Every structure is written in C-alpha cells, then in structure tokens.
Amino acid sequence: MSKKTISTIIQLIVFLGLGIALMVWRYNAISEKDKTDMFEAFGHIRWLWSAPLLVVGFLAHYFRSLRWKMLMQPLKVYPSTANTVFAVLIGYLANALIPRLGEVAKCTILAKYEKVPADKLVGTIIAERAFDVVCLVALLFLTLLFQFDIIYPFAQKLGTKIFLDDTGAVKWLHFGVAIVVLLAIIVVFIRLFKKIKSSKIGQIIQGIGDGLKTIGQIKNKGRFLLLTFLIWFMYAGLIIIGFWAMPEMSGITLLASLAILTFGSVGMIATPGGIGAYPVIIAEVLILYGISSGIGFAYGWVSWAGQTAIVVILGLASLILLPIYNRNKDNDQQTRHYSPKDNDAKSVATGY
C-alpha cells in the first residue's frame, strides 16, 4: 500500500471520526424531551417535497457545470455540457466519500472523455473554489448585516474570536501577523516557482496559474455572476424546501435560511459530506431563532440527508449515463476541444 493511499485512509478516518464524535456529543447534550421531539419530528416529514428537492438540487449542480465551462473558455477548452454535468455530479459523489477527491475525479473524467489537458482543469477548479470562498464570505457579511444581533454571538464561536475581541473590536496584532504570514508565503512561493518553472512540476503550477487567470479573462462576466447567483439561490431553495417538509419549522423566518446556508456550508466542509458537523451546526443556528435543540437537530439531519441523497442519486446516475452517452457519440464528434490556436471562430464565440 502506497504512502498516498495510507494518507488518504488516515484523513478519511480522522474526518469521519470527527463527524461521528460531534454527532454523539450533540445527541448526548440534549434533554430527553428534546430527543423525544426529535424522533417525533422525523415521523412528521412530508415526503412529497422530496421530488422538488431533487429538481432544485440538480439545477444547482447544472448551473455550476455551466459556470465551470465558462472558466474553461479562456483556455480554449470547450467540453460538452453533458460531460461537464456528469463530471460535476460524480465529483460531488466522490467528495461525499473522501474530502477533495471530487476535484480530482472531475478533472480525470473530462481529461478522459473530452481529451483536454488535466493541468488546465485543475487551475479552473481552484479558481472556482476561490470564488466560492469569496461568495461564502459575502454571505457571512450579509447575514451579519441583516441579523447582527442574532448571528454575531454564534459567529464568534466559529472563529471570529481570532481577529475580534468580545466587544467586536479588531485584534490588530493578530490581523497583522496573519497578513505578514500570508505575504511571506506568497513571496516564498514566487521565488521557489522561478527556480522550478522549467520542470514538470513547474509546468503543472503554470497550468494552475493559467486556470486562476480565467476569471479575469471571462468575456461575459454578467452571465458568470448570474450563474453564481443561481447556484446559491438553489442552495437556499434546498433549505427552504426543508422548512416546508417539516411542520415543526413552519414558523421559521426566511432570513433564517440565509444563516443556515452560510454556516451550514462550513459544516459541509468540516467533515466528509458534512456528516455529523452539518446537523450540529444547523441545530446551534436554529436555537438562535427559538427552535428547540431536538427540532433543530432533527431538521439538521433531514436537511443533510436530503442533500446527501441528491448527491448519491445523481452521482450514481451519472456514473451509469456517462459511458453510455460517450459510447453513442458519433466519431466525428470525438474531436479535441483544446487547441493552442484560436482557429475555431464558432467555438470561441459560443463556448459550446
């Protein structure tokens, strides 16, 4: 067994262990009444909302696929929409098993079926994730802006104490140290890259850099921003549908969905597929809105289960449909979608 495989297994065990530990801790922390309320809430679920949940979940991934295609266009990479959607869905399925495996899966699938350079795709993945982080920070600020008195105490628990004191004032020393460390890392990286840029590793890094530049090179930035809005709007829709699926959540405000979307996203990152962490964080957020621990924990599990089911169902369907779709493509459609020369005016104009 290789060192890489061992490292992957260790990561999986650690993250899964963390998720299970959080789940057990949160369950033991709630009262017997809350536990009773939680199990009763499970019995009140309106399963008819499962169908629209699946549709909205698919649309979120579909819009993400279209946005990813836009990031490839400046690199003269034009994969088919179907293969891009399949790659994204399979990537999410892989991420539910092992953290960050999905990014590798997405690149591998397109590299195989669309004959595109994998190093270029890695750059677009990093660019997409970087932009998602910006969006998540923007959501956090919006949440604090509209519900500061409710959310601020909870935000502190998730890490703002590193840079803010109990009064909300910035800890400038901590902030300054973080900036200096970040700048030092950037300087070291640049100097190191200059020494290895002609090597194979340097070429890979250069490919990643080209991918990061694609956001600034996108011609139709309005469409890119619209797709980004639609992605997060669909994510919020999943949360709201979850409210409708549980009668106990009928009194919750729509603004609460913004807080759940923001902090729930952190939970999805913390452990593989958000197992354990997502329901715990959601339960803590809902307490701020007057929802009991038992009901909040129940909703967190229902929401997590719904989103995980979407990933599993669509991911498995994509694994089946991907080879079938590509097997049935005509030979004249099996052309390369990457060329160092910009000689295909129609492809450049449309990207499809």
DSSP 170: B
3-class state of residue 267 by DSSP: helix
CA distance to 43, 64, 70, 254, 282, per residue, from 240 (Å):
19, 20, 29, 7, 13
Q: What is the pLDDT of residues 46-55, one digit of tens each?
A: 888 888 999 9
Q: Which range, 42-51, 141-150, 219-228, is most confident?
A: 219-228
Half-sphere exposure of 18 (CA within 13 A, CB side): 15
Q: Which residues have C-beta within 8 Å of that of residue 44, sequence separation ≥ 6?
A: 246, 247, 248
Say yes or no to pLDDT of 282 above 80: yes
Q: What's the whole-model pTM score?
A: 0.72
Q: Mean pLDDT check: name the lowest of 170-174, 242-246, 260-264.
A: 170-174
Query: Whose CA is closest to 87, among 69, 107, 114?
Result: 107
Biggest distance spanned by C-alpha atoms of the chain: 69
Say yes or no to pLDDT of 334 above 70: no
Q: Higher model confidence: residue 7 or residue 62? A: 62
Q: Higher model confidence: residue 203 or residue 343? A: 203
331: left (phi over 0), alpha (psi -120 to 50) or beta: alpha
Q: What is the CA radius of gyration of the chain?
A: 22
> Residues 262, 140: contact at Cβ < 8 Å?
yes
**Distance (Å, rounded) from C-alpha 328 to C-alpha 138?**
43
Q: Please state the rounded mean pLDDT for residues 222-242.
A: 92
The residues pairing with 338 across neighbouring beta strands, listed in sequence order, are: 77
For residue 192 the two structure tokens come to: 């190191």
> Residues 312, 53: contact at Cβ < 8 Å?
no
> Residues 258, 139: contact at Cβ < 8 Å?
yes
Q: How distant is the alpha carbon of residue 340 from its chain centre? A: 31
Say yes or no to pLDDT of 240 above 50: yes
- The confidence band for 213, taking pLDDT boundaries of 50, 70 and 90, is low
> Residues 238, 60: contact at Cβ < 8 Å?
yes
Beta-carbon neighbour count of residue 101 at 10 Å? 18
pLDDT of residue 352: 40
Q: How distant is the alpha carbon of residue 174 from its chain centre? A: 28
Say yes or no to pLDDT of 241 above 50: yes
Amino acid at 222: G
Planar angle of CA 18, 307, 238, nearest 5 degrees: 125
For residue 24 the two structure tokens come to: 């057990």
263: left (phi over 0), alpha (psi -120 to 50) or beta: alpha
**Distance (Å, rounded) from C-alpha 80 to C-alpha 336?**
11
Q: What is the pLDDT of residues 55-110, one digit of tens each?
A: 999 999 999 999 999 988 887 888 999 999 999 999 988 887 776 778 888 988 98
Amino acid at 46: R
Q: Mean pLDDT check: name the lowest of 3-7, 87-91, 98-102, 118-122.
A: 3-7
Q: How distant is the alpha carbon of residue 102 from its chain centre? A: 10
Q: What is the pLDDT of residues 300-323, one digit of tens each?
A: 888 888 888 899 899 999 999 999
